[in-house]
Structure 1
Amino acid sequence: MTKSAKTVEEAIKEALKELRLENDEVEIEVLEEGSKGFFGIVGTKNAKVRVTEKVVPVKRASRILQQIFSYMDLEVEINISECEEFTKFDLTGPDLGILIGRRGDTLDSLQYYINLAANKKTEKRVKFIIDVEGYRQRRHETLNRLALKLADKAKRKGRNVVLEPMNPHERRVIHTALQNHKEVFTYSEGEEPYRKIIISPKK
């Protein structure tokens, strides 16, 4: 953003306010120092600065989330944990079911968007995982139980059991849960977003 004001300091302050950024999140280039002119009346010239956001994916992701929650009028606490493989945002607060959606659809969409937006124009991508009050772990455990239950059904009845369509992450949980099962095997068929898992008894 390029901004003009009476002084360099004022121009920077206005740019930061409009961008909703702090000094340590930007690079500042002074294009024109500005001048008071003759007796502060004739020939006055505004200062001009160019303020560019530093590409820090984690800070950008956090800021975007905060803006989204502000628009939705939600009180959300963001706890950030980082490891080599990914950065995780654990969200806590009242009435956050709206962020999860039906079987995590809204949460998955939010996570997908944050990964795109926060990594825009970055040299090294950061993978973001977003969770709401431990939902993903609970869902993981639910899917594991479902996989074992339906595997038993396929084994007892001797025929395929077809699951409802799931996203790639949830399908991976089912496949992993049954990959070493002695009496059934799994495979996927169909096109996204209707791709589904089939649990089939081994012959």
Structure 2
Amino acid sequence: MKEVTATGQSVEEAVELALGQLNATRERIEYRVIDEGKKGLFGLFGGRPAIVHVQLKPDPIEEAKLYLLDIMNEMGVEPHIEIKVEGYRADFKITGEKMALLIGKRGQTLNSLQLLTQLIANRYTNHFLNITLDAENYRHRRESSLIQLAERLAEKAVYTKKPVTLEAMPSFERKIIHNTLSKNKKIKTHSEGEEPNRYLVIHPVEKNPSY
């Protein structure tokens, strides 16, 4: 049940009755007054009840999930999705068969799906929702490989005394590398280019010449 028409002695009472039927709070509904009602003479004669039509607002997380399921169905993937919501962040953990197809090369398909799912969710809310998609714990494995890559390329930059340019990657992956190397005093990092082709560069830090 996503919408009801309710009656009461007043508009306020009719809305409250509708909330009970929908098991919702006021923040989750929109309503239209069909009839404001009229009190009868001495509260007995000639009165009529107030009538309201109350509708649940779309839930951004649920809409995002339905959108994601539609796309994966077109891909021939039948997943199980577990969602954890904390504040304005939602983590979608996806399991099932054909997860390699869902992840794509270096996570490119998963990253694209994550961006699209986030766009859909944010159509239905005034607060920005940050959505993360993970399939078969890929994000953890990718983070580990990025940390190893960052450390290896930092050593290369120091050894060759030349900047090392990485391939383009999304901002949350660049952040992993930035954070990994932030305490390394021998190098510095920065990003160049425009999204979605923005990439990270690792520079060796020149030592101050001694006099």
TM-score by length of 2: 0.68
Residue number in structure 2 paired with 1:166: 169
* Match status 1:102 vs 2:105: yes
Residue number in structure 1 paired with 2:143: 140
The one-letter code sitting in structure 2 at the alignment partner of 1:54 is K
Residue number in structure 1 paired with 2:114: 111
Q: Distance in 1 between matches of 2:122 and 2:189?
A: 34
Return closer, same or farther for 1:84/1:122 CA change in 2, 3 Å cut-off: closer
Q: Distance in 2 between matches of 1:194 and 1:61?
A: 25
Residue number in structure 2 paired with 1:154: 157
Residue number in structure 1 paired with 2:94: 91
Return closer, same or farther for 1:97/1:51 CA change in 2, 3 Å cut-off: farther
Residue of 127, 130, 137 corresponding to 2:130: 127
Return closer, same or farther for 1:92/1:123 CA change in 2, 3 Å cut-off: same
Structure 2 alignment gaps of length 5 or more: 6-21, 35-52, 207-211
Q: Distance in 1 between matches of 2:159 and 2:78?
A: 48
Q: Distance in 2 between matches of 1:151 and 1:187?
A: 13
Give 3-state SS (helix, strand or coil) of 1:164's partner.
coil
Residue number in structure 1 paired with 2:57: 54
4+ long deviations beyond 4 Å: 23-29, 50-53
Residue number in structure 1 paired with 2:204: 201
CA displacement, residues 127-159 of structure 1 (integer Å, 9 cap, x when unaligned): 211111111111111101000001111111222
The one-letter code sitting in structure 1 at the alignment partner of 2:167 is E
The one-letter code sitting in structure 1 at the alignment partner of 2:95 is T
Give 3-state SS (helix, strand or coil) of 2:72's partner.
helix
Q: What percentage of residue pairs aligned between the two structures are identical?
A: 37
Q: Which has the larger radius of gyration?
A: 2
Q: Distance in 1 between matches of 2:123 and 2:23?
A: 19
Q: Distance in 1 between matches of 2:183 and 2:89?
A: 27
Q: Distance in 1 between matches of 2:153 and 2:179?
A: 14
Q: How many residues align?
A: 164
Structure 1 alignment gaps of length 5 or more: 1-7, 9-22, 32-49
Q: Distance in 2 between matches of 1:28 and 1:159?
A: 64
Residue number in structure 1 paired with 2:45: none
The one-letter code sitting in structure 1 at the alignment partner of 2:180 is A
Residue number in structure 2 paired with 1:70: 73
Quote the offset at 1:89 in angstroms.
0.5
Quote the offset at 1:55 in angstroms.
2.1
